[in-house]
Copies of this chain bind each other. A is one copy, B any other.
Amino acid sequence: MRKHLVNIDTSKTTPIYKQIYIEIKEKIDSVELTENTKLPSIRQLSMQLNINNLTILKAYNLLETNGYIYKKQGSGVFVKKREKCLYFEPPKEVLESFKGGEVIIQDNIDFVSGTPSKNLLPFDDFKEITIKILEKDGVDILTYHNTKGYDKLRYYLSKRLEQTGINISHKNIQIVSGAQQGLDLTLKVLLSPKNNKIIIAKPTYHGAINTFRKDCKIFTVNLENDGFNLDELEEILATENINFIYTTMDFESPTGISWSEEKKKKLVELAKKYKVYIVEEDCVSDLFFDKKPCPLKALDTNDECIISIKSFSKNLIPGIRMAYMIVPDELIQKVISAKFTSDISCSGFNQRILLEFLESGIFDKNLEKIRKIYKERFSYIKGLLKDSPLKLEYEIAGGFNLWLKLPEEIDVNKFYLSCKQIGVSILPGNVFYLDEGNLNYFRLSFAAADENQIKEGFNRMEKLIKKSSKKS
């Protein structure tokens, strides 16, 4: 007699649909079910197991969402090829503009960079501060600094965080060379081959996807206008042994949305309930237009489940390569060791320059200036969008990332390549997805483009759309 695909146990507390999901998933993971194997239809399985159609449908939907199976119209449901479902690659031409992971911007209108254009970088302040540090700190600048980071900077940051409701000791702060290093250290500390399942949003920051691809098994949760779809999140947390949830909170790439405070709280609760870490990358929350958003870390009352990575690249100077991590007690020693084996320590010179920026108040003054400019630019863009074939998907309350929708008939990859030809750089939406994304969106960042450039950029894009629409 043929063995049943699934055996359910009604005495268990696990819901039936989850039992079905887990059994099939494990058979696929262990290659007992190989790729392109046809699964029984919903009706067949429902009869075999003597349970409701809808329960099977729910299990199959979850399997499809997590990339285990695919539906073929009129033929049925099949096991998906593992590589394909895990590693979506954008078209080759698109990839080529990311050589070595870099975004190459040779075009004259830059809607890609997330860093202020040169004229907004506080160079005069930087020069003054650097000379001051050379005079004040002398040869101490040139020695090796502590692996954890320059102590005075760590103290200062812990005091500054207090004002935002985050009460942590300087001992929980690790200075790093940019947020990307924070992510890299996090992976070194949390990940192991046997415990490598993580959750990210779709869409999410493409740099994070690239970082996680090699060593993680990635699950995705839809992003809504106020944060993750938390039902989807809990589904995965309840059925998979997840290591950590990676997320950004406010105004981040690519959509620019902000999480509601309610969802932030719920996220922390879920992380605690299922004993997983949250890895939060924060590069632009300082760039709010009117109201400072509540930091996620402030909601982690027992200081146990969040690693926050906070960058100075977008809110001050990218070239200074400075960021810091807030790390729970039980992980901090491991993070310090990982920093040591990664590059010993950060440049003491750069750390001292950063501290002087902060202590002197110049950092805050500069922030005020950028906030005002970005708010004005966003309002300017909203004016342009009124009569545009481009649609804004989400309102933003800070930052510089916009998620724009193209008319249905236009393919975003082709649009991206055509834009390059007319000197406009954007990022096509699908680079922000692990699996094939929604092909009608693209990210537009206005950090490096002033109003004239924005106007010219929109003009060129709209002409292109009109031409393409006529053709198709």
Contacts and interface: CB of A to CB of B under 8 A. Distances in A.
Q: Which of A123, A144, A348 has the most CB of B within 10 A?
A: A144
A82 interface: no
Interface stretch (A29-37, A62-70, A145-153, A389-397): A145-153
A347 interface: yes
Interface in A193-243: 193, 210-211
A439 interface: no
A370 to B, nearest CB: 14
A349 B337 contact: no
A100 B319 contact: no
Interface string A111-141: 0000100110101001100110010001111
A337 B100 contact: yes
B337 A148 contact: no
A290 interface: no
Interface string A340-371: 11111111111000000000000000000000
Contact of A126 (B142, B148, B317): B142
A247 interface: no
A143 to B, nearest CB: 5
Nearest to A336: B100
Contacts of A317: 142
Interface in A299-320: 313, 317-320
A101 interface: yes
A83 interface: no
A343 B177 contact: yes
B346 A321 contact: yes
B343 A141 contact: no
A321 B101 CA distance: 23
A180 interface: yes
A146 B99 CA distance: 11
A210 B183 CA distance: 21
A438 interface: no
Q: What copy number does this chain have within its complex?
A: 2
A184 interface: yes
Nearest to A113: B144
A191 B414 CA distance: 37
A333 interface: yes
A100 B177 contact: no
B100 A340 contact: yes
A258 interface: no
A327 B159 CA distance: 44
Contacts of A126: 134, 141-142
Nearest to A135: B127
Contact of A347 (B143, B333, B347): B347
A341 B100 contact: no
A121 B142 CA distance: 7
A181 interface: yes
Given A347-B321, A350-B349, A115 B139 contact: no
Contacts of A343: 176-178, 180-181, 184, 321, 343
A350 B319 CA distance: 10
Given A101-B340, A347-B347, A319 B180 contact: no
Contact of A193 (B183, B193, B319): B193
Contacts of A145: 319
A378 B102 CA distance: 47
Contacts of A177: 177, 343, 347
B341 A210 contact: yes
Given A131-B131, A184-B341, 11 more contacts: A100-B147, A118-B140, A121-B139, A121-B142, A143-B319, A178-B343, A181-B343, A319-B347, A321-B345, A321-B347, A347-B347
14 contacts: A100-B336, A102-B147, A118-B140, A118-B142, A123-B142, A127-B134, A177-B177, A184-B341, A184-B343, A319-B348, A319-B349, A321-B344, A343-B343, A347-B347
